[in-house]
Chains A and B, each alone.
Chain A
Amino acid sequence: MARPYNRRTGYSRRAQYGLFFSYVAAVSGAVVALLLLILSAVDPNGFGALKGAVSDATLPISNAGRAVGATVSGVFTNLGSYIDAAGQVRRLEREAAANKTRLIEARALAYENGRLKRLLRMEEQGTRAVTVGRLVASTGTSIRRYAILNAGFVHGVRQGMPVRGPGGLVGRVASAGAASARVGLVTDGGTVVPVRRVPDGMPAIATGTGDGFIDIRALGAENTTFKVGDVFVTSGAGGVYPPNIPVAVIRRRTRDALLARPVADPTAFDFAAVLPIYQPQVEVQRRALPPLPGQ
């Protein structure tokens, strides 16, 4: 097929000028885009209000979609439960017996823990959630890992607040719309969380890798002491994330990195609680300093 003539202007001066200026507009617009890119490299959370408006607009549909997804998978789970009812009852009875013992042990530990804390006069501030929502959608086309939370500015969500799920840390609020917020997941390359290993408190830095993993790097020492299966929780350093929220479990060791999976699976559509910034005054000081490019 012969190509249809694209924008043939003929001898009309006006049409020729119009075409010329539309190319000028395209090229100068591309230059503006380049400037905007530099701006967003300096301040990645810019245009938060506009981003929030877009996720607000799509929220009703993604909320409904989540319900549909949950119902469909629920039907299959329920069918499976009927078929395997007797086996399940036996399994649950076994588990209940085992849990009873563990519960008694846990009560004893909690009592001992409370006693020791009193002894140390250490009062841990309980962090009360600002609000609780659900992760309903995500940005699936970009290498940035953002999820959409169905709670926003009117529920008290502000930019920079940490978000946790029932299992552990989910991420941090990147921008808040009126009724929805964009959460930078712990697996996003832009999320950096100060962590420590659970039993011995060895400090480390957890950075997302953008493909569902978290890169764990030891502070100061070599990585050699960390091994597959180690669990990391937030350390509270930096003043953003409250301490002792589970973050990641090391799954794989490569030649130059330790790759961990997040404890809270963000793909599970679970509840997510938005927490206040742990030490707001630290964050205020950090903002007073000029931002580093690429952070």
Chain B
Amino acid sequence: MRTLPFRVGKPVLSLRARATPVASVMFASLVPLLLPVVADWPFLPPFGLLMLLGWRLLRPGFFLPWAPLPLGAFDDLASGQPIGSAMLLWTLAFLAIDASERALLWRDYLQDWIVAAAAIAFCLAGGYLLALLAGGDAPVLSFVPQLLASILVFPVIARLCARIDIWRLK
């Protein structure tokens, strides 16, 4: 690993390297609004969450533990969920991933995928319950196709994060 020169008062990473992960997560949150589709039922994966998990598992130290709060608030504004839902669930998922990393010494690709799948399942189920609380209504199994799609799409998003990572650190 290349050691970075230590300089006082100046950030080690360039602005591009620091802003790209944040901007990519925010853009991913907006993707459902950009697609010209009026959906009858929730069928799109939560791209913002997938992107955030992709970055979290690729660069464990990049996002601080409170980073999901502002990113989740932005996602709530775009996604139609009650405000606070992604803020709460994403932060809890991050804390859980932090705790799991203290327990797991080794990791590989499949293990990352399982961790991400658990986080996605938690966030979608929690989002469903919180939306019910805020006055929505939907059958219990309505988010299951979305959940399966999200888990299957996650490796693609993880690869995308890796490509963006190469570009941002160039």
CB pair B38–A266 under 8 Å, yes or no, is yes
Report which of A37, A58, A189 forms a contact with B30, defined as CB distance below 8 A: A58
Q: Known contacts A1-B107, A188-B136; can you find 16 more A-B pairs with CB under 8 A?
A: A6-B98, A25-B66, A33-B85, A37-B88, A37-B133, A47-B77, A55-B78, A69-B36, A137-B33, A137-B36, A139-B33, A140-B32, A141-B47, A182-B80, A210-B136, A212-B40
Query: How many residues on the A side are at the interface (Cβ–Cβ under 8 A)?
Result: 69
CB pair B135–A3 under 8 Å, yes or no, is no
CB-CB < 8 A to A54: which residues of B?
30, 33, 74, 77-78
**Nearest A residue to B134, CB-CB:** A41
Binds B, one of A83-91, A108-116, A143-151, A279-287: A143-151
CB-CB < 8 A to A26: which residues of B?
64-66, 68-69, 91, 94-95
**What's the least CB distance linking B144 to chain A, in Å?**
12
Name A1-58 residues within 8 Å CB distance of B: 1-4, 6-7, 22-23, 25-27, 29-30, 32-37, 39-41, 44, 46-47, 50-51, 53-55, 57-58
26 A-B interface contacts by CB (under 8 A):
A1-B106, A2-B106, A6-B101, A26-B66, A32-B84, A33-B84, A33-B88, A33-B91, A39-B83, A40-B82, A40-B84, A65-B34, A69-B36, A138-B38, A139-B78, A142-B81, A142-B131, A145-B80, A147-B38, A189-B131, A189-B135, A189-B136, A210-B41, A210-B138, A294-B134, A294-B135
CB pair A68–B46 under 8 Å, yes or no, is no
Name B50-104 residues within 8 Å CB distance of A: 60-61, 64-66, 68-69, 72-74, 77-85, 87-88, 91-92, 94-95, 98, 101, 104
CB pair B65–A25 under 8 Å, yes or no, is yes
CB pair B135–A295 under 8 Å, yes or no, is yes
A226 proximal to B (CB < 8 A): no
A41 to B84, CA, bound (A): 10
CB pair B36–A144 under 8 Å, yes or no, is no
CB pair A143–B138 under 8 Å, yes or no, is yes
**What's the least CB distance linking A35 to chain B, in Å?**
7
Over the window 128-168 of chain B, the binary record of Cβ atoms lying under 8 Å from chain A Cβ atoms (1 yes, 0 no) is 10111111111100110010000000000000000000000
**A-B contact count, CB below 8 Å?**
223
CB-CB < 8 A to A143: which residues of B?
42, 127-128, 131-132, 136, 138, 142-143
A187 to B39, CA, bound (A): 11
**What's the least CB distance linking B91 to chain A, in Å?**
5
CB-CB < 8 A to A234: which residues of B?
none
A residues contacting B by CB (< 8 A) are: 1-4, 6-7, 22-23, 25-27, 29-30, 32-37, 39-41, 44, 46-47, 50-51, 53-55, 57-58, 61-62, 65-66, 68-69, 135-148, 182, 187-190, 207-212, 266-269, 294-295
